[in-house]
Amino acid sequence: MRILSTHIPNENIQDRFVWSESKNGGLNVIGVYAFYLDQKGSLVNSQDARKLWSKFWSSDIIPKWKLFTWRLLNNALATNNNLQKRQILIQESCYLCRKDNKTESYLFRDCNISSRVWACSTLGINVGPSSQIPIGEWIRNFLLLFWKEDGIKSDRAKDYVATLSAIWIHRNNIVFRNQKEHPTTILKHKEELMRELEQGAKIKENVYNSHASKSKQANENTGSNSTWPRDLCIILVDRAWKRYNKQFPRSRIGWAAYMNNIKIFEGSDRTLSISPLQTEAQAMYRGLSEATNKGIRQVQIHSDNADLVRAINNKDQPFDISSLDQDIKAICSKFSLCKIRKVSRTEVIPAHNLAVAARQGSIVT
């Protein structure tokens, strides 16, 4: 499939060696390591962890909570267990219930006090059936569940992390400040943390609204001077790519060109490709080629694929579009003006509809 989908460049360019398993064709230790993990079947767990952290760092949980949770999941907190491993003299029993257990699972979940905190919280979690699950897996499962059901801005995920943080604060007050707090103060600590989160969200929203207002005013002030040249051709490109199985993905492309708000040409086609990125690049190439054949001198490509726009403007390109990139740049050099812009999905709907219709069997030539 990779051989069939390889674009044979029209330009006379020097061949080069590339590492096909990397995004930019370059060979690096991380790429080789991931390749061998994949061969051994060990990459799945690594990819699952990457998905978790990708969602975690993009969530709107406040940074210090993220850092705390990251340290907890990576066994990097100064818990009794970790301190003892470093031969630091500490109390061997749990600081909350005074029982002889110093593991992270016991402190944050299985301790008699912690389990009651979880049961009394707004989440109402019964930790009993989970006692055999490692604490890291237990935390990951709940976070992924909340994000799946509520979205990346899940209030339950924030409440969950706040409860973990409140237990840790309560434990540290006992250890380092010699405070004899009642266990109910854990819930008070959590309420304080949630108020802190709300205040931070309000400040963030005010700053965002302020910047948005300034940006809108700036656009209004410069709007009269930001008109495009009259003869500029806007080419919309998009792809409809779906992998039905590993060997034979279905890829279709569509492009539509407008000048002075009038459609001047459009087209769609079937293609052979190994990735959505390569399919979008083929749509861009076909749109530019047709514009050249029609003698158009000024063009601007609109694509909703940020990765493609970024790759075209960079020196190194992903393996699957390296040859296409050379031809696209060569065609662009023939125009007196050629720009490639990242736009929203709604702005390329005409091209998207053409690609979808092509996937359903209707090809525009």
Please tell me the predicted confidence (pLDDT) of residue 90.
72
Q: Closest Cα partner for 272 from 264, 263, 282?
A: 282
Class of residue 297 by CB neighbours under 10 A (exposed 0-12, middle 13-18, buried 19+): middle
Domain coordinates of the chain in residue numbers? 2-10+228-359, 61-200
d(CA 150, CA 7): 43
- Tokens representing residue 48 in the block: 């699952």
For residue 224, the model assigns a pLDDT of: 38
Q: What is the pLDDT of residues 162-208, one digit of tens each?
A: 999 999 999 999 888 888 878 889 999 999 999 998 888 888 788 87
How much is the pLDDT for 219?
Answer: 46
Sequence-distant (≥ 6) Cβ neighbours of residue 13 within 8 angstroms: 323, 326
Spatial separation of the C-alpha atoms in residues 16 and 76, rounded to whole Å: 44
Which parts of the chain sit beneath pLDDT 70? 1-9, 11-14, 16, 18, 20-25, 40-48, 100-102, 211-212, 214-229, 243-249
| pLDDT-above-90 percentage for the chain | 41
pTM of the predicted model over 0.75 = no
* CATH no. for 2-10+228-359: 3.30.420.10
Question: Taken in order 109, 115, 119, 120, is the CA torsion positive or negative?
Answer: negative
Q: Is the dihedral of CA 193, 197, 198, 199 positive or negative?
A: positive
- What crossing angle do the helices spanning 112-120 and 155-177 adopt, rounded to 10°? 150
The separation between CA 136 and the C-alpha centre of its own chain, rounded to angstroms, equals: 22
